[in-house]
């Protein structure tokens, strides 16, 4: 029997533990809050994060990190992206080269602008070189209830990616492989910024036209930035590009969209984050997006206006006006440039 540990007992970690448990694996679900872990053990349910979903006996919750990691080959990192470095630092001396690390966190470290795989490699590569990431349109609320979902696993190592693909693949959870880590991680992290924007548009009362424009042009910004950083442009047409962006910008489960709706209604950011009660990854991701745009000299007008609304108290209508009245553009500048150079 395969033995897996999921580090992070939030909604996403619990949902992934359920996917693995349904395949018959023995799964340890680690959380750092002893009281919440004891509640999971008692009720066989993660009430704060995934209410109404029964946890089978082959999911064992624990707050003991050493116990959780003992005799496990597969280590799933499912904490918020801001906690990943700290968790990696904690487990560094508890793992070995046979372990396969599976990052399920979506984000880019604000202080260093490192992607999760870069961060994990920096912390753990001497101990475990087998680093993979899973990403895609996958709300925990649906994954945990067995609703059909498709995701992507990425890695520098094709064999490691395929091993993780086999680990998770099931009739309810389809897994593709993609070796483009840059594209996967930029798409999965930066879509949260656009989801905030679509939420803001909903909150202020704009319609489907505005949402479609934000999603489409937001994808253009993300793809241009990713390609400038070395990503394959085709990745952004896939599950961690279009797929993740659409689900995060439109779903009732999206924390980023819900946060945006409240901001669009005029609720201060500080109060919105308190109301949501869970990490809203799009807020630090907005800062990251603007910094990366400057680093790679890629225009990021949507991200910049969202940044101004979040952190500079810019009026939402004014931000919309500034977006709509920018200089005229061709929709696909790259095609125009190639056409002109060939003529």
Contact yes or no for 257/249 (Cβ under 8 A): yes
User: Which of 291, 286, 219 has its CA nearest to residue 249?
Assistant: 219
Query: CA separation (Å) from 236 to 19, 223, 243, 272, 342?
Result: 26, 6, 9, 30, 26
Determine how β-strand 100-103 pairs with β-strand 59-62.
unpaired
The arrangement of strands across the sheet holding 74-77 comes to: 59-62, 26-30, 3-7, 74-77, 100-103, 130-135, 149-155, 173-178
CA dihedral 275, 119, 296, 183 (to 10 degrees): -80
DSSP state of 139: -
- Crossing angle of helices 282-296 and 301-311, rounded to 10°: 130
Query: Which residues are within 8 A (CB) of 55 and not within 5 positions of it... i.e. 6 or more apart?
Result: 14, 17, 18, 21, 29, 40, 44, 45, 46, 61
- Closest to 23 (Cα-Cα) out of 158, 146, 147, 160: 146
Tell me, yes or no, if 295 is annotated catalytic: no
Give all strands (DSSP E) within the chain, no chain letters: 3-7, 26-30, 59-62, 74-77, 100-103, 130-135, 149-155, 173-178
Q: Which two tokens stand for residue 267?
A: 């609720």
Torsion of CA 83, 85, 90, 96, to 10 degrees: 130
Beta bridge partners of 109: none
Catalytic residue among 191, 295, 312, 329: 191
Active site residues: 191
């Amino acid at each position: 029997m395969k033995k897996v540990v999921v580090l992070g007992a939030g909604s996403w970690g619990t949902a992934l533990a359920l996917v693995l448990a349904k395949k018959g694996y023995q799964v340890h679900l680690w959380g750092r809050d002893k009281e919440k872990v004891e509640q999971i053990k008692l009720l066989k349910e993660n009430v704060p994060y995934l209410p109404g979903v029964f946890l089978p006996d082959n999911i064992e919750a624990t707050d003991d990190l050493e116990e959780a990691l003992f005799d496990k080959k597969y280590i799933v990192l499912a904490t918020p992206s801001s906690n990943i470095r700290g968790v990696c630092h904690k487990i560094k001396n508890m793992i070995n080269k046979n372990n396969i690390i599976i990052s399920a966190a979506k984000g880019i470290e604000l202080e260093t602008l490192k992607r999760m795989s870069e961060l994990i490699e920096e912390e753990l590569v001497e101990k475990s070189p087998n680093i993979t990431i899973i990403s895609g349109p996958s709300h925990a609320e649906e994954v945990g209830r067995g609703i059909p979902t498709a995701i992507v696993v990425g890695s520098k190592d094709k064999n490691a990616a395929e091993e993780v693909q086999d680990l998770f693949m099931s009739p309810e959870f389809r897994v593709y492989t993609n070796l483009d880590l840059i594209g996967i991680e930029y798409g999965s992290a930066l879509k949260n910024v656009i989801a905030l924007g679509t939420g803001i548009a909903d909150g202020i009362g704009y319609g489907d036209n505005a949402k479609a424009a934000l999603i489409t042009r937001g994808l253009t910004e993300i793809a241009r930035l990713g390609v400038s950083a070395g990503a394959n442009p085709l990745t952004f047409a896939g599950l961690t590009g279009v797929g993740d962006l659409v689900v995060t910008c439109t779903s009732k489960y999206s924390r980023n969209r819900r946060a945006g709706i409240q901001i669009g209604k005029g609720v201060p950011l500080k109060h919105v984050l308190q109301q949501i009660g869970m990490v809203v990854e799009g807020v630090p991701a907005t800062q990251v997006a603007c910094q990366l745009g400057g680093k790679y000299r890629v225009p990021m007008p949507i991200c910049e206006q969202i940044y101004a609304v979040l952190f500079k108290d810019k009026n939402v209508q004014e931000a919309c006006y500034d977006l709509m009245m920018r200089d005229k553009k061709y929709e696909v500048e790259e095609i125009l440039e190639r056409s002109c150079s060939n003529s």
